[in-house]
Structure 1
Amino acid sequence: MRPDLDPEQLDRYSRHIIMDDVGPTGQAALLDTAVLVVGAGGLGSPVLQYLAAAGIGRLGIVDDDRVERSNLQRQIIHADSDVGRPKVDSAHDFVADLNPDVTVDTHELRLAADNAAALVDDYDIVVDASDNFATRFLVNDACTLAGVPFSHGAVFRFEGQVTTFTGEGPCYRCLFPKAPPAGTVPDCSTAGVLGVLPGTIGCLQATEVCKLAMDYGEPLEGRLLAFDAGSMSVDEVPIATNPDCPVCGDDPAIDDVAEASYDGRCEL
């Protein structure tokens, strides 16, 4: 048994510890892992909830929004009493109340080209729980260049997708070379989203993070899971490495996110 797990921790994580594939060593790995969650909204809420419960030792939360009442249909770590508060503050209090073992770093800012590299470099794993293409491309580029694995998730109406990029295979730009033209893909505020759907996708992302932290199983490397809640079906779409990718290709054009553009279609 790991000697520095105190009696309360042995009790709290007992269902992990009794698993042969986790045990005290796996729980120690979770407690020693630092994860940056970009977005404390629909996807970030279940990610933060389950990673905190699992005992991820340090959670960083990046978000510059404030809680709105329309968020509460799906953003389950925020309450009606939190309306008007910064999401990072509400999320911090939720995590602290759930698990005092977890250290929470709050970053009340928008991830941008001038801060992404420094933020990513301070964590072992990143979760892309953002809701726009510019941030998704920025997370990809910063993580790929730093060699930091990240989980990507996205939701739309009744559909969601999730995959993981570890740096050993393709990256997000191999899947989407550039963002779609502005206005062609409506966001949740205009198209809506089934409230429970971010919970489904976010839980999958949290699962991937725990596996990466414990070095267990096979991550969704080179595979995209596409989930349709309407038909309750899951399709697995292979992702091929693009040798011409500007980040992970044979002759990359991006070697510093501070010098790339993340406006419009995120093209070079």
Structure 2
Amino acid sequence: MGSSLPLVDREGTDPGGRGLGGHGSGQDAHERRERHSRHLALPGIGMGGQSRIDQARVLVIGAGGLGSPVLQYLAAAGIGTLGIVDDDAVDLSNLQRQTIHGTPDVGRPKTASAADSVRRTDPGIEVVEHAERLTNDNALRILGGYDVVVDATDNFATRYLISDAAALVGVPCVWGSVYRWDAQVTVFWDAAPDGRGIDYRDVFPEPPADGAVLSCEEAGVFGAVCGTVGALMATEVIKLVTGAGTPLLGRVVVLDALAGTSRTIGVKRAKGRQRVTALADYDLFCGVGAATDGTELDAEEVEGILASDEQVVLLDVREPDERLVDSIPGHVAVPVRIVTVDPGAVPGAITDRVIVYCASGVRSRAAAVALREAGRDAVSLRGGIQSWRSVAGRA
């Protein structure tokens, strides 16, 4: 469904004829008014704005560090329908920043855990669980049922997919990103009024080289920054739904939490950029995928080699603090920052195969390349220790 600002009729105080008793939980109008009394008293929202919030359909893609606060604040605001897309399960390491989940949720699907939290906040909200990975095959179908999309994902291929799908469907996309202490937030809307529309390609015309940007597990992330950014993203959703204020169209907020500073950067549509007409192969575009040159092995292959009589060096290139969490038995440890400068620091005979691993496979690929250039027979564990856990149990 295409959208315009605001996303529902602004005329009158009851656009849908439902007042504030329209949620399906049996809540009457008095209970809804009491629940949202602070919104009703707020200039720019009031009764009409809250009615629009009640009717809005918002899709949050990713129920992790950013998706958690977005979902929590949108649920508290009373968004009528919240869709949640995620194909992952809650892991203990998620709880440092993914506040919508708790210790009892470890092992549960993130969509189910997040949906339960939303319903506890407001039983009247309709929650739609999309417990699947967003792909070219389902993106248009899923996004087409919502007024606003929130991109709370953490990889470039999916971000390009979401941006293009939102452009094709004609809905705005609130986007946020966190890296260590830094963050960015903006609103992509290819068909925004007044020519203010930009999309993800205007900010990132080309993706970084595969492995150039570390994952959250590789780089670390300060959990509270996710809360700050997620709250700002939820604010942008409410502004789009109600028409209050000025949304971040054509502007990117850049936050440095460590320095305690923020700034806003203006962004215009890239010259010559054509409008999106079809979805693409985003994994190919972003250079994502398994190596085909024999420099990577999957966890099952590594497990078989380690169980054989082959002479190998199992090399952990993570930092010392990371190895305190878990490791693969029998490893030797040399951080990647040393391996790439001095491959000779890795023990073993020149004829020994070196199997390199890290958290997710990014640093180990770099280390394996350095070792191969130095004449060693080195391969990287595809997916890092994350993939090893799924095959061999917790290390």
Q: Classify the TM-score, shorter chain.
A: over 0.9
Which range moved further: 159-168 or 121-130?
159-168
Match of 2:211, SS?
A: coil
Q: Which amino acid aligns with 2:149?
A: V
For residue 19 of structure 2, what is the aligned residue in structure 1? 4
Question: Cα offset for 1:265?
Answer: 3.5
Deviation at 1:222, TM superposition (A): 0.7
Match of 1:185 among 185, 193, 213: 213
Q: How does 1:1-268 map to 2 (within 5 A)?
A: 4-5=19-20, 6-167=29-190, 168=192, 169-245=197-273, 249=274, 252=275, 254-257=276-279, 260-266=280-286
Query: In the aligned structure 2, how far is the partner of 1:192 from the partner of 1:56?
Result: 32
Name the SS for the 1:227 alignment partner.
strand
Q: Which has the larger radius of gyration?
A: 2
Amino acid across the alignment from 1:172: Y
How much does 1:218 deviate?
0.8
**Quick one: which amino acid aligns to residue 63 of structure 1?**
D
Shift in CA distance, 56/94, structure 1 to aligned 2, threshold 3 Å: same
Secondary structure at the aligned position of 1:84 is classed as: coil
Per-residue CA deviation, residues 4-52 of structure 1 (Å, 9 max, x unaligned), is: 3211101000001112321110000000100000000000000000000
Q: TM-score, normalised by structure 1?
A: 0.94
CA distance in 1, matches of 2:169, 2:267: 21
CA deviation map 1:94-131 (0-9, x unaligned): 00011012100000011111110111110000000001
8 Å contact from structure 2 (residues 143, 166) kept in 1: yes
The 3-state SS of whatever aligns with 1:126 is strand
TM-score by length of 2: 0.64
1:204-245, Cα deviation, whole Å (9 max, x unpaired): 100000000001111111111110001110021111211322
Q: Is the 8 A contact 2:209 2:286 kept in 1?
A: no
> What is the CA–CA distance in structure 1 between the aligned matches of 2:30 and 2:244, rounded to whole Å?
26
Aligned length, in residue pairs:
259
> Which is bigger in relative contact order (C-alpha 8 A, separation at least 6)?
1
Paired amino acid for 1:157: R
Give me the whole-angstrom Cα distance separating, in 2, the residues matched to 1:188 and 1:200.
17
